[in-house]
Amino acid sequence: KAGVTQTPRYLIKTRGQQVTLSCSPISGHRSVSWYQQTPGQGLQFLFEYFSETQRNKGNFPGRFSGRQFSNSRSEMNVSTLELGDSALYLCASSLDGPNQPQHFGDGTRLSIL
């Protein structure tokens, strides 16, 4: 069974641009969560989607948004990029239910110049 797939693996953008990251969950997983990892703030929760609905949202500005499609694939978008958005963005998928383990993709490393 294929794991969680994130694309692209690396991305370089400049301030003010926008970016879209993609995540394909493990087959059969309908819950997808996104996290931002920076050296200073650690791993921080962005949002969680289930059946195309946002179920939980972290404490990030409105520039960060996401969505989930009917096939459970998810995208996250960051608009008006700032230098501080440089980070590793990780996606995780799980079966439904709060007692299910999360499985992570390899991440997208975003660098803002």
Partner 1 sequence: GIQVEQSPPDLILQEGANSTLRCNFSDSVNNLQWFHQNPWGQLINLFYIPSGTKQNGRLSATTVATERYSLLYISSSQTTDSGVYFCAGRRGGQNFVFGPGTRLSVLP
Give residues in contact with partner 1 (CB under 8 A): 33, 35, 37, 42-45, 48, 55-56, 58, 88, 90, 98-104, 106-107, 109
Provide, rounded to whole angstroms, the least separation between the CB of residue 31 and partner 1: 11
Cβ closest to partner 1, residue 67 vs residue 104: 104
- Collapsing DSSP to helix, strand or coil, 40 comes out as coil
> Which of 18, 100 has the CB closer to partner 1?
100
Comparing CB distances to partner 1, the nearer of 35 and 64 is 35
Distance of alpha carbon 5 from alpha carbon 17, whole angstroms? 24
Distance CA 1, CA 15 (A): 38
For residue 72, the minimal CB distance to partner 1 (Å) is 18
How many residues make up the chain in this entry? 113
- Are 111 and 89 contacting, i.e. CB atoms less than 8 angstroms apart? no
Q: How far is the CB of 2 from partner 1 (least distance, A)?
A: 15
Whether 20 and 110 have beta carbons less than 8 Å apart is answered as no
